[in-house]
Every structure is written in structure tokens, then in C-alpha cells.
């Protein structure tokens, strides 16, 4: 895979040119207050480089799932303000996506200006399954750049989506991978291709079905596969252990049995569980052996002995990929498992291991629990995209950037510049 990068675009010159950038600014909100600005901060290097070089920058991004209709609660207004603070320059917000206001503002941009289009998913064509509808929106987006525009893909969290602002617009303009996307691909390539051993993967989250493909892809390649979170209870049930009222995917039990049979020396499950009498922050809680979860009680975290055992193998690893919390970390009483595993990964990193936090809830947990972000080698901005990459799937938003279309191996891309 051969992809031109931001450095190639800057070398070609961007002064006076309009550059469309697809960023991932899908941040969590409490009303209009941004509770985690990590994705905004991650977008800054590419946007700053373009603006500083004299480009007229038009940013495309989404927030939430407005389902193709305008929803004031999902306006990018708070994002524009926070992005302006991060960039140290004013970011104007268009009142629409490709309408009269966006067109007028695009025409009025001067060198170094930054404009954010309103939530791209307010336009139903963005996520349409109809390629012609997406292409029509992409054409209107490309038209905002005038006759000498370019497209920079810098939203890694959306490159697994075949959407107008991610995929179709790249077909219409000279296209480049932004700093963030290039870095994410390089990191995941390091994890999947020739990772230093011992290498470990930590998977959590709620459903086995969400992680099955990545388990199948990675289990034959890694030395250790640690499983926690809600998904561990389906594996415990596959061992014939009672799981009480814990989250259970009964239709996946046989699949988990097969995985345990095939990868018994690789898969590590919790040996003790923090159980609760209800799903609440103040629920009564106690720690029990993994095989003794009482009827009517549910597992909400892994226990201290599990943390100790997991930490031992993680500290010995030279490469670690982590995706998914070990428990309901949002409730302080059930956050110790996630914290303990994260701290073990930080210790391994300090000892020279290469560690990747696979975005999504894992990245949120790092920030919620007040852990040092620089304690990990890399924190991804794209949970779903990271997992699909590790599964070996072709990601449309990366494939479309490829200037060597005959290449089909997503696990071994190279970049220019």
C-alpha cells in the first residue's frame, strides 16, 4: 500500500490552496460541555501544519448519530470553540454542511484560515448506502475547494466507514494521509507485523461477538491473550462455571469452548470476580472465585488476584495491545481491575515495551481514571477502526488513499514522505 502523506502535500505547496480535511472530532458531551477533548487535541498537528503553511483549511467532522437530520444538540459549536483554543486561532463554524453559508464562507477564506463545516451527518447523504447519493455530496464538498484543492484524511476513527467525507471525496481530489492517520497505521503495522515478543493482547468490553474476529485473527499470533470485561463471562460459562446474572451471550458459548480448546495455552481468564447485587455505583459488592458467582449477582469487575496474575504476564511482555476495560470503570467501586491492568501496561512500557491503547472505552478509561497518557507508547483515536485493521479487513478510508490499487494487504501498508 502506497499512500502520500501530509508531508508530500506540504512539499508540493499549499499556500493559497483550499484543503478539505476529514477529522475525527466526535467527542463526548455533557450538554454543551466537552468531557474528553482527546480527539480534538489529536487533530491539531495536521490542521496547524496546513494553516501555518498558508492553506485555507475546511474541516469536516461528525458528532454523535443525528441520523441525517439537523439536531441542535449535536451541533459542532462547542467543538469549534475548543478546536480554536487548541489551535490558538479562530475557527469559524458554518451554519450548514454544503449550503449557502458554507459556500459563502469557503469563498471568503484567506490564507491560514480554518473553517469547520456543521456536523457532516446532518446531511443524510453522508452515510447513505446509495453510492450515487454519497458521490453527489462528495462533489459538493470538493467544489468548496475551488479548482486547486486537496483532501487530507486525518480521522482514523472513521476510516473503516465508506462515507462521503471519508471515502467518496478522496476519489475527486488529490488525496493524502494526515499526520494522525499515518501515525495510527504505522503503530498498528508494528503491532501486527513482526511485533517484538513476548507479545500480549488485552481484550475487554461487553460482548464476545464484537471481538470474535480479532480474537480469531490474533490468537494464533500472540503469546498471551487476556480476556476481561463483560465478555469474560461467556468464556467462564463455556468452562461450565456459573455466572449468576452476569452479562452472557448464550449463543456464543460453543464458540468460546472452541476457542478455549484451540488456544488453551494463550487465553487467560479471570480467577476471581467482583460481583454486585445490582448494576449501580452504590451496589453491594464482594469478591468471589470465578466459579462461585452467586445466583442473582452479576460480575462488574475482575478481582485483585486476577489483576495480579494478568499484571505478571503483561509486565513481561515487549508488545501490548489493549482494547476494552476490565469492568465498569465508570463506577469507582468497580474500576480497580481496569486501573490495575492499565498500570501493569504502563510499567511494561517504562521497562521498554511497546504499548498501544486501542481507542474507544480504553482510551476513555485512561483519562477517567487519571492515568498518565504518556505512560503508553500510543493511544489510538479509533477503537472500531483499530479492531478492523487488526482483523485484517480492508478499511475503505485507507484503501481509497492507495495510489497502487493492485495492493490489497491492509496489514502491510507503507507511506511516502
Catalytic machinery residues: 39, 207, 360, 384
User: How many CA within 13 A on the CB side of residue 163?
Assistant: 21
Give the helix ranges, DSSP H, for 228-303: 232-238, 253-262
Burial class (CB in 10 A: 0-12, 13-18, 19+), 201: buried
**Which distant-in-sequence residues (6+ apart) come within 8 Å of 333 by Cβ?**
274, 276, 281, 282, 283, 285, 300
What span, in angstroms and rounded, lies between the C-alpha atoms of 28 and 4? 31
Pairing of β 175-177 and β 114-116: unpaired
Rg (CA), the chain: 22
Q: In sequence order, what are the beta bridge partners of 22? A: 60, 153
**Which distant-in-sequence residues (6+ apart) come within 8 Å of 118 by Cβ?**
75, 76, 93, 94, 95, 96, 97, 102
Cell of 23: 477529522
Cβ atoms within 10 Å, residue 43 = 26
Closest CA to 42 of 97, 73, 87: 87
Alpha-carbon torsion, ordered 363, 365, 367, 372, to 10 deg: -80
Collapsing DSSP states into helix, strand and coil, what is residue 149? coil
Amino acid at each position: 500500500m502506497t499512500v502520500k502523506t501530509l508531508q508530500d502535500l506540504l512539499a508540493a505547496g499549499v499556500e493559497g490552496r483550499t484543503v478539505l480535511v476529514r477529522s475525527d472530532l466526535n467527542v463526548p458531551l455533557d450538554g454543551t460541555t466537552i468531557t474528553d477533548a482527546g480527539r480534538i487535541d489529536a487533530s491539531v498537528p495536521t490542521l496547524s501544519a496546513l494553516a501555518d503553511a498558508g492553506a485555507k483549511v475546511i474541516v469536516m467532522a461528525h458528532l454523535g448519530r443525528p441520523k441525517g437530520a439537523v439536531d441542535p444538540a449535536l451541533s459542532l459549536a462547542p467543538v469549534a470553540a475548543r478546536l480554536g483554543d487548541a489551535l490558538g486561532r479562530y475557527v469559524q463554524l458554518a451554519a450548514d454542511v454544503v449550503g449557502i453559508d458554507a459556500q459563502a464562507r469557503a469563498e471568503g477564506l484567506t490564507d491560514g484560515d480554518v473553517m469547520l463545516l456543521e456536523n457532516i451527518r446532518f446531511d443524510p447523504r453522508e452515510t447513505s448506502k446509495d453510492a450515487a447519493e454519497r458521490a453527489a455530496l462528495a462533489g459538493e464538498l470538493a467544489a468548496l475547494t475551488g479548482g486547486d484543492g486537496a483532501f487530507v484524511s486525518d480521522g482514523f476513527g472513521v476510516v473503516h466507514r465508506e462515507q462521503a467525507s471519508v471515502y467518496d471525496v478522496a476519489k475527486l481530489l488529490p488525496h493524502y494521509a494526515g499526520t494522525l492517520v499515518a501515525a495510527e497505521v504505522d503503530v498498528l503495522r508494528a503491532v501486527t507485523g513482526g511485533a517484538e515478543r513476548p507479545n500480549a493482547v488485552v481484550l475487554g468490553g461487553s460482548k464476545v461477538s464484537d471481538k470474535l474476529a480479532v480474537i480469531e485473527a490474533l490468537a494464533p499470533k500472540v503469546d498471551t491473550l487476556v480476556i476481561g470485561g463483560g465478555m469474560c463471562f461467556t468464556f467462564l460459562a463455556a468452562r461450565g462455571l456459573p455466572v449468576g446474572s452476569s452479562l452472557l451471550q448464550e449463543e456464543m458459548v460453543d464458540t468460546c469452548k472452541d476457542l478455549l480448546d484451540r488456544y488453551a495455552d494463550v487465553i487467560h481468564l479471570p480467577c476471581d470476580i467482583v460481583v454486585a447485587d445490582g448494576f449501580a455505583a452504590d451496589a453491594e459488592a464482594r469478591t468471589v472465585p470465578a466459579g462461585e458467582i452467586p445466583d442473582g449477582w452479576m460480575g462488574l469487575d475482575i478481582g485483585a488476584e486476577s489483576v495480579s496474575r494478568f499484571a505478571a504476564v503483561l509486565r513481561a511482555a515487549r508488545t501490548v495491545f489493549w482494547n476494552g476495560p476490565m469492568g465498569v470503570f465508570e463506577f469507582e467501586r468497580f474500576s480497580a481491575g481496569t486501573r490495575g491492568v492499565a498500570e501493569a501496561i504502563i510499567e511494561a512500557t517504562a521497562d521498554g515495551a511497546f504499548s498501544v491503547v486501542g481507542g474507544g472505552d480504553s482510551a476513555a478509561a485512561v483519562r477517567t481514571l487519571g492515568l498518565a497518557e504518556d505512560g503508553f507508547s500510543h493511544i489510538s483515536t479509533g477503537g472500531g477502526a483499530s479492531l478492523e485493521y487488526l482483523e485484517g479487513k480492508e478499511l475503505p478510508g485507507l484503501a481509497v488513499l492507495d495510489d497502487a490499487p493492485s495492493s490489497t494487504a491492509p496489514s502491510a501498508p507503507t507511506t511516502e514522505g
